[in-house]
Amino acid sequence: MAISTPRASRRDFIRLTSTMGMAAGFAAALAACGGSSGGSGASGAGSANPDGTITAGISYELGTSGYDPMTTTAGLTVAANWHTLEGLTELDAVSREAYAALGKDLPMKVDDTTYEVALRDGAKFSDGSDVTVEDVVFSFERVLDPANNSLYSQFLTFLESVTAKDDTTVTIKTKHPYSLVAERLSTVKIVPKAVVEADPKAFDMNPIGSGPYKMTDNSAASQTVVFERNDNYNGSHPALAKKMTWQVLPDDTTRTNAITSSTVQAIDTVPATNLSAMTDPVVVSADKGFSLVFVMFNHQGAFADVKARQAIMYALDYEKICTTGMGTLATAATCFVQEEHPAYKKASTVYSYDADKAKSLLAEAGITSIETIATDHGFFSGARPIIKENLEALGVSANFTEKKSKELYDYIKNGDKWDIAIAPGDPSVFGNDADLLMRWWYSADLWANDRMHWKGTEAYTKLQAILDEAVQVEGDAQIAKWQEAFDLIAENVPLYPIFHRTTPTAYNNQTLVSFRSVNYPGLSFVDVGSTQV
């Protein structure tokens, strides 16, 4: 077993070679070799070949939407956009710290509500056209326009305006003092106005950006996404490979075979049951992160009663779900965020398995039946039967149905009868601060209003006030406000994590250079090279 060089992070990390056994041994090694470290560090390969090729197997399917960064939130398309598009700022894949991307420097504070960002000298899009301040203003305006229904607009409620100061600088005005400007600007990717306006549909399927790579093929028929080096890129994170090819491999066995046969150099979401198949030179890194499976409640029916929601949380056998169902690659939630998160504090309400209490609360709430729907994602297939068994043991009529993710959300959208939805989620792909993570589910209309129908309740209104107060302060005061919000969410459980995941990523330690795993969905090959042509 090899342990990576520690990094300044609160995440646990381990690298596993052929000496590892099944998931139980994997978890035991995690416990034995824990510590404060994160990411995989530099791999053992030699120097990158400038004409090298990176190959990967991605568990996320292409889906029905495109790649437009204004609208897409799908795992595959978001990961692709990390490589082809840029914001004024970006977040480091592992540390999640903001750095200047299309901006020459991080936002310069003029006063409490004014910032300026100068564009990187000579920045161009992959089609060779110059990146202009007009493109920057257009990119923000399209996200902020309510008519476009961009989910990213919920992260920008603090913005008053983004305007051109001159030909090279934009001025950012905020509605009030805001402590996360640099982090939040990264959620808006800068796109060429002329190209988007000329043919929005074509742009959606193959966006043009200023990132280190450009997409050259994303064929749904061949289930591949192909990238080439963007020779017009002049930033600080150039492509270290000439080409990348991602194969879309949602099937666990197929994805495992692809990495063990060296068909690809990296895969995400290694199944716990396949860990023993990983042998040298394949290395597995297991990164604890925010990624979770949640319970979401429909507040339009009987589960508008908080006692009913709390009853379900007490009905779940967390130890069995996490240990048996998830192969010990999960940790029961004791807060909205995972224990390794910088803002973590054990919530004032922590749910543990208490069937008698669950039955009592259900009776008080007058619940006689429960309609549950769950996504059929493979990574928690072992946990779903346990959850189903827990609900059926409550002594009420309990129906449990599994659906594909899109079908589940279409079912909810169409107004069909449901009480509980169980699904995975991880907005930490957009950022890791507590404000962003909470606003994703508890502020956005898509979730708070259209799905769980929680918007407008007393708890909803109180939470928004706490979040708005938190972003106007910094340091310990900010963390204290976020922890106040965690307690409110834990007590009211409109949507709440069952567990946070440990996400195993496998990669070839001999052919990938400086590969770093991430603890959220997707694979990042920014600053990664390959010895393989």
Give residues with Cβ within 8 angstroms of 86, minimum separation 6: 101, 102, 189, 190, 209, 210, 211, 235
* Mode of pairing for the β-strands spanning 369-375 and 397-403: parallel
The residue-averaged pLDDT of 82-101 equals 97
Whether residue 45 has pLDDT greater than 70: no
Give the whole-angstrom CA distance, residue 405 versus residue 451. Answer: 14
Q: Do 513 and 531 form a contact (C-beta atoms < 8 A)?
A: yes
pLDDT in tens, 174-229: 999 999 999 999 999 999 999 999 999 999 999 999 999 999 998 777 799 999 99
pLDDT at 61: 80
User: Which is it for the CA torsion 514, 518, 523, 525, positive or negative?
Assistant: negative
Give the whole-angstrom CA distance, residue 269 versus residue 515. Answer: 16
Whether residue 399 has pLDDT greater than 50: yes
pLDDT in tens, 417-467: 999 999 999 999 999 999 999 999 999 999 999 999 999 999 999 999 999
Q: pLDDT band at 277, cuts 50/70/90?
A: confident
| 3-class SS letters over 400-425 | EEEECHHHHHHHHHCCCCCCEEEEEE
Beta bridge partners of 305: none
Q: Do 374 and 390 form a contact (C-beta atoms < 8 A)?
A: no
Task: Give, in order, the Cα–Cα distances in Å from 358 to each of 190, 328, 354, 362.
Answer: 49, 25, 6, 6
Q: How many helices (H) and strands (E) does the chain have?
A: 16, 20
Give residues with Cβ within 8 angstroms of 477, minimum separation 6: none
Q: pLDDT band at 43, cuts 50/70/90?
A: low
Give the whole-angstrom CA distance, residue 402 versus residue 383. Answer: 12
- Where b means 16+ CB within 10 Å and e means fewer, 408-435 reads bbebbeeeeebbbbbbbbbbbbbbbbbb
Please tell me which residue, 40 or 221, carries the higher pLDDT value: 221
- Helices (H), ranges, 378-474: 384-392, 405-413, 434-442, 445-448, 458-470
Residue 324 has which token pair?
């048996």
- When mean pLDDT is compared across 29-43, 309-323, 475-489, 492-506, the lowest value belongs to 29-43
pLDDT at 31: 35
DSSP state of 47: P
Q: pLDDT band at 20, cuts 50/70/90?
A: very low
pLDDT in tens, 286-310: 889 999 999 999 999 899 999 999 9
Whether residue 65 has pLDDT greater than 80: no
Give the whole-angstrom CA distance, residue 279 versus residue 413. Answer: 44
Average pLDDT, the chain: 90
Whether residue 244 has pLDDT greater than 90: yes
CA 345 vs. chain centroid, Å, equals 21
Task: Determine the residue type at 218.
Answer: N
pLDDT at 6: 29
Q: Map out the domains of the chain with their CATH numbers.
A: 48-81+211-281+509-532 (3.40.190.10), 86-207 (3.90.76.10), 288-502 (3.10.105.10)
pLDDT at 4: 32
Whether residue 379 has pLDDT greater than 80: yes
Helix (H, G, I), strand (E, B) or coil at 500: strand
pLDDT at 328: 86
Whether residue 98 has pLDDT greater than 60: yes
Residue 209 has which token pair?
């950006």
Run of H or E including 489? helix 475-492
**Residue 82: other Cβ atoms inside 10 A:** 22
pLDDT at 12: 35
- Where b means 16+ CB within 10 Å and e means fewer, 219-243 reads eeeeebbbbbbbebbebebebbbbb
Give the whole-angstrom CA distance, residue 239 versus residue 230. Answer: 7
Give the whole-angstrom CA distance, residue 370 versus residue 385. Answer: 16
Whether residue 353 has pLDDT greater than 90: yes
- When mean pLDDT is compared across 36-50, 103-117, 446-460, 463-477, the lowest value belongs to 36-50
513: left (phi over 0), alpha (psi -120 to 50) or beta: beta
pLDDT at 14: 35
Helix (H, G, I), strand (E, B) or coil at 435: helix
Share of the chain above pLDDT 70, in %: 91
Whether residue 159 has pLDDT greater than 50: yes
- When mean pLDDT is compared across 27-31, 54-58, 374-378, 434-438, the lowest value belongs to 27-31
Q: Do 23 and 325 form a contact (C-beta atoms < 8 A)?
A: no
Task: Give, in order, the Cα–Cα distances in Å from 293 to each of 330, 333, 383, 452, 459.
Answer: 10, 10, 10, 16, 22
Q: pLDDT band at 7, cuts 50/70/90?
A: very low
Whether residue 36 has pLDDT greater than 50: no
Give the whole-angstrom CA distance, residue 472 versus residue 50. Answer: 46
Beta bridge partners of 403: 375
The residue-averaged pLDDT of 144-153 equals 94
CA nearest to 59, candidates 431, 506, 440 = 506
pLDDT at 415: 84
